[in-house]
Amino acid sequence: MRHNRIAARFAALKAEDRAGLITYVMAGDPDVETAFEILKGLPAAGADLIELGFPFSDPMAEGPPIQRAALRALKIGMTLRGTLDLVRRFRLEDKDTPIILMGYTNPVLSYGFGPFAQDAAAAGVDGLIIVDSPPEEADELSEALDIAGISLIRLTAPTTDDARLAIVVKRTSGFVYYVSVAGVTGVKEADAASVAPAVVRVRAASNLPVAVGFGIKTPERAAEVARIADAVVVGSALVDEIAAAAVTSAPAAAKVLASVSALAKAVRTARLDVNVTSV
Amino acid sequence: MNAPSPNAYTAYPDANGRFGDYGGRYVAETLMPLVLELGRAYDEAKNDPAFHAEMSGYMTHYVGRPSPLYFAERLTQHFGGAKIYFKRDELNHTGAHKINNCIGQILLARRMGKTRIIAETGAGQHGVATATVCARFGYPCIVYMGETDVERQKPNVFRMNLLGAEVRPVTSGTGTLKDAMNEAMRDWVTNVDDTYYIIGTAAGPHPYPAMVRDFQSVIGTEARAQMLEREGRLPDAVVACIGGGSNAIGLFHPFLADEGVRLIGVEAAGHGLSTGQHAASLTGGRPGVLHGNKTYLLQDDDGQIIDAHSISAGLDYPGIGPEHAWLHDVGRAQYVSATDDEALSAFQLCSQLEGIIPALEPAHALARVGDVAKELGKDAIVLMNLCGRGDKDIFTVAEALGSRL
């Protein structure tokens, strides 16, 4: 069952007493084959879970790096269907690494919630994050995903108070994604001191693992967050590697995967330091 | 007959901000608490007589309301059909209807204790209106404007700067209104504590579509009373142009319960509906989610938003306010379109026959008013919202007509 890939991975992480690394890349960025090469290489490079973005023309919550990634993907004709094709190819090689699709409502609505959920499950998708679908608007989508056995993973933010947190986590499964800064992706830097109490709060409200993202760019920062959260999400920094590689004609996949290895090493060793402040 | 009684059309949106299936609050979780807080603050203000009294004072003495109801005698003769009336909202301070909404929202922002104002603008009319109220009430103001629009609406950029606002050109996407709105949303999500976002049209997450409509309803409320006084009866049809649709919903809403009054919205058909280069979301789009609400959108098979085209920067938007989407589906309002060329002809006709240079936006409405007047015949009355004046458009029009300024 699909649910279990996410749960199994977090159980394994807990057994190892380490945080997971979740890497975000955009489907079709910079082209289909390079994106597939990156995707295929992520588990060996140390990604514990994979977030795969599907492009949208108007990504309201993204900073410039992911905006540009979406434009690159759209330019080569990437679609939500094309994104599922990539997942299908990935699953032929990897049966265990959870894949979470991340994007905006309209492409999914346009596909149809029911058909999308069925096709995504068949392709091997484990979870879905829809940035612009708060719980108040998500009943129909939740039902379609429940039937297909896909987790709807919710975002909580610094602006989410306790009363609202209860509403947000109600229909969340898999894990909860804590947005560590008020802002768009990849601009502000997360502050570990303010993230720590928020992680405790979200974990207590949800009884689910908590992943922290939006504003984690370096191995150092990833390690700091790995000491307090169940998983660390890095996206914009990886996507920027793809953009930079395109400028210098460097091999994008190798550069991205090298960055992932460095991040994974930092995350995996974070709690081994002597002076840890573990929660 | 003085006050229309409420009917099935006037009870929306529901508590979740829905007009039938449309509307809602499709925003990122970071913004959701802010949007909910805004909804509560607006509900309180709406029910506070002091808020209305203050707003009404500024409407009278600062905006210059009520705007006149004008019998367009020569255009009536020209078309040879129904009597044509203009609601003269182009005579408002700042030259368009946009100021009505900005007065309401700046008073709300002050009430909420916000200290920084942001806005998006297409043609620049909403940007100018926002910069104006920010100057008047002493707020720092940042206006996001697509770089394409910055280029074609230079006089308005200069006006905003004169008023003390910072205009930030937006280069993402195609650099038009939708991209400016994305960027304003990104600013809001980054500055959650001190910033108030004044959306200029009856779209966005709830409560914006209802709130902007309420603030713009002064147009229809005045026009309805003025028409009763002048003609002793209601018009047979009311006509307004539609980009996001704030002037149209402001005119339509007070007539929703008057079921004998036809409501006609005119979308921008750009180079023609068949060319794909237009901004007619109801005529050429399908339902989807953008900018916080569910509504009709120009989009491709994958749900990617397609760039709109119109000669009028104020109509150059791939969506439409959710209440229009709903009025369209239930059939209470009818939506037609006018091309760039038709709007240009109407622009010149109005200038030459009435001595009024209209904005390109209401020139689209005027392009269909002739058809409606002819269809309804001499005994009928057509009311059109002349929602903006055309000074800002003279460069665009000159270029389209091959003149050099």
pLDDT digits (tens, 9 = 90+) for B277-291: 999 999 999 999 999
The Cα of A154 is separated from the nearest Cα of chain B by a number of Å equal to 9
**Nearest-by-Cβ selection for B29 from A67, A110, A155:** A155
CB proximity B203 to A under 8 Å: no
Alpha helices (H) in A113-185, listed in sequence order: 113-123, 139-148, 162-170
Residues of chain B positioned with their CB less than 8 A from the CB of A161: 33
Residue to substitute from B186, B192, B194, interface A, most A β-carbons within 10 A: B186
Mean pLDDT of chain A: 94
Residues of chain A positioned with their CB less than 8 A from the CB of B118: none
**The pLDDT value given to residue B3:** 54
Among A61-65, B25-29, B101-105, which is the least confidently predicted range? Answer: A61-65
Q: Which listed residue (A37, A62, A189, A224) is catalytic?
A: A62
Q: B400-405: long-range contacts at Cβ-Cβ below 8 A with a sequence spacing of 24 or more?
A: B400/B311, B400/B340, B400/B344, B401/B344
**The pLDDT value given to residue A179:** 94
* Residue A62 appears among annotated catalytic residues: yes
CB proximity B28 to A under 8 Å: yes
Inform me whether the pLDDT recorded for A224 exceeds 80: yes
Q: What residues contact residue B86 under an 8 Å CB cut-off, 6+ apart? A: B69, B70, B72, B354, B356, B383, B384, B385, B386
Chain-chain contact of A109 with B289 (C-beta, under 8 angstroms): yes
Residues of chain A positioned with their CB less than 8 A from the CB of B24: 136-137
Q: Which residues of A touch B (CB under 8 A)?
A: 55-64, 67, 74, 79-81, 104-111, 131-134, 136-137, 154-161, 164, 168, 179, 182-184, 187-188
Residues of chain B positioned with their CB less than 8 A from the CB of A187: 190
Among A211-215, B83-87, B213-217, which is the least confidently predicted range? Answer: A211-215
**The pLDDT value given to residue A278:** 47
- Percentage of chain B beyond pLDDT 70 is 99
Instruction: Summarize the confidence of residues A247-266 as an average pLDDT.
Output: 94
Coil/strand/helix, residue A176? strand
**The pLDDT value given to residue B1:** 45
Q: Is B53 exposed, middle or buried (0-12, 13-18, 19+ CB in 10 A)?
A: exposed
**The pLDDT value given to residue A275:** 54
Chain-chain contact of A159 with B32 (C-beta, under 8 angstroms): yes
Q: Which range has highest mean pLDDT (A164-178, A184-198, B6-20, B55-69)?
A: B55-69
Which residue is associated with the tokens 């005045």?
B222
Domain ranges for chain A: 4-278
pLDDT, one tens digit per residue, over B92-116 is 999 999 999 999 999 999 999 999 9
Among A132-141, B145-154, B297-306, which is the least confidently predicted range? Answer: B145-154
Instruction: Summarize the confidence of residues A152-159 as an average pLDDT.
Output: 95
Residues of chain B positioned with their CB less than 8 A from the CB of A57: 173, 304-305
The Cα of A160 is separated from the nearest Cα of chain B by a number of Å equal to 7
Chain B residue with minimum CA distance to A57: B304
Instruction: Summarize the confidence of residues B255-261 as an average pLDDT.
Output: 96
3-state secondary structure chain B: CCCCCCCCCCCCCCCCCEECCEEEEECCCCCHHHHHHHHHHHHHHHCCHHHHHHHHHHHHHHHCCCCCEEECHHHHHHHCCCEEEEECHHHCHHHECHHHHHHHHHHHHHHCCCCEEEEEECCCHHHHHHHHHHHHHCCCEEEEEEHHHHHHCHHHHHHHHHCCCEEEEECCCCCCHHHHHHHHHHHHHHCCCCEEEECCCCCCCCCHHHHHHHHHCHHHHHHHHHHHHHHCCCCCEEEEEECCCHHHHHHHHHHCCCCCCEEEEEEEEECCHHHCCCCCHHHHCEEEEECEEEEEECECCCCCECCCCCCCHHHCCCCCCHHHHHHHHHCCEEEEEEEHHHHHHHHHHHHHHHCCCECHHHHHHHHHHHHHHHHHCCCCEEEEECCEECHHHHHHHHHHCCCCC
Instruction: Summarize the confidence of residues B233-252 as an average pLDDT.
Output: 97
Residue A177 banded pLDDT, cuts 50, 70, 90: very high
Residue A101 banded pLDDT, cuts 50, 70, 90: very high
Chain-chain contact of B26 with A59 (C-beta, under 8 angstroms): no
**The pLDDT value given to residue B4:** 57
CB proximity B301 to A under 8 Å: yes
Among A93-107, A178-192, B37-51, B151-165, which is the least confidently predicted range? Answer: A178-192
Structure pTM? 0.95
**Nearest-by-Cβ selection for B29 from A60, A108, A134:** A134
Our measurement of the distance from residue B34's CA atom to the centroid of its chain's CA atoms, rounded to an integer in Å, reads 24
**The pLDDT value given to residue A247:** 86
The CATH H-level superfamily of A4-278 is: Aldolase class I (3.20.20.70)
**The pLDDT value given to residue A187:** 85
Instruction: Summarize the confidence of residues B374-392 as an average pLDDT.
Output: 96
Residue A279 banded pLDDT, cuts 50, 70, 90: very low
**The pLDDT value given to residue A215:** 87
- Percentage of chain A beyond pLDDT 90 is 87
Residues of chain B positioned with their CB less than 8 A from the CB of A132: 26-28, 289, 292
Chain A residue with minimum CA distance to B15: A136
Residue A188 banded pLDDT, cuts 50, 70, 90: confident
**The pLDDT value given to residue B153:** 83
Mean pLDDT of chain B: 95
Q: Over the range B285-302, which residues count as b (16 or more CB within 10 Å of their CB) and which as e?
A: bebbbbbbbbbbbbbeeb
